[in-house]
Amino acid sequence: MRPIIEGLALALAVIRPLILGAAVLTGLAALGSWAARTRRISPFSPIARFTRQRVDPMFAPAEKRLLLSGGQPAQAPWWTLGAVVIGGLLLISAMQFIITQLAMADMAARSGPRGIVRLVITWTFAVLKLAIIARVIASWVGGSPYKKLWRWAFVITDPILVPLRRVLPTFGPIDVSPLVAYFGLSILQAVILGAI
């Protein structure tokens, strides 16, 4: 397990500067495209001609998506920059998460049965907390229990949140049951892990 963890850590060390470089290059390309489109630089300058010929075609897929959704195609470079930055951050976070989980699994395996039980408990509570967070996000973006993307979160959290809603007082349109459930699960996890 150690060689896999070390290999992933090395890959992460290589990917970080690559993502930073991609974000900087995309930012410069977006700035050049914006300057050429808004005529901040002369449309006949070598920079503007280079931008129209070489840089703007890279933003064509984003422009098409923006046109289909009713957006401004001139904003495609900035949306592309946002996608590169957010995608890079998500990739780095996912790799860090995988490395951490593999390290935890390795440590649990070395600790024997007690370590494995602790690991299973930790992962179970992590899935429950993730489901609560996903359910909150679903309520913000219009997700419902009938959509495939969000169904798992509703199925996992309903046995926890429905009884809590019956007990907790209402605060107008604000539902505090996910917050109470999240912190309650954290306390319960600490108690269970402390007893083992």
Q: How many domains does the chain have?
A: 2
Whether residue 63 is found in the same domain as residue 88: yes
Structure confidence at residue 3 (pLDDT): 85
Whether residue 43 is found in the same domain as residue 91: yes
Domain of 4 in residue numbering reads as: 1-111
Whether residue 52 is found in the same domain as residue 100: yes
Domain boundary among 111, 136, 162: 111
Alpha carbons 37 and 134: distance in angstroms, whole number: 39
Residue 133 burial (C-beta neighbours within 10 Å; 0-12, 13-18, 19+): middle
Whether residue 51 is found in the same domain as residue 122: no
Alpha carbons 138 and 149: distance in angstroms, whole number: 9
Whether residue 6 is found in the same domain as residue 100: yes
pLDDT in tens, 35-78: 887 788 887 888 888 888 888 888 888 888 877 878 787 788 88
Which residues of the chain are modeled with pLDDT < 70? none
Domain boundary among 80, 111, 142: 111
For residue 182, CA distances in Å to 117, 128, 177, 186 come to 21, 8, 8, 6
SS3 174: strand
Structure confidence at residue 95 (pLDDT): 92
Alpha carbons 193 and 115: distance in angstroms, whole number: 10
Domain boundary among 111, 133, 159: 111
Whether residue 55 is found in the same domain as residue 152: no
Whether residue 145 is found in the same domain as residue 79: no
Q: pTM for this one?
A: 0.69
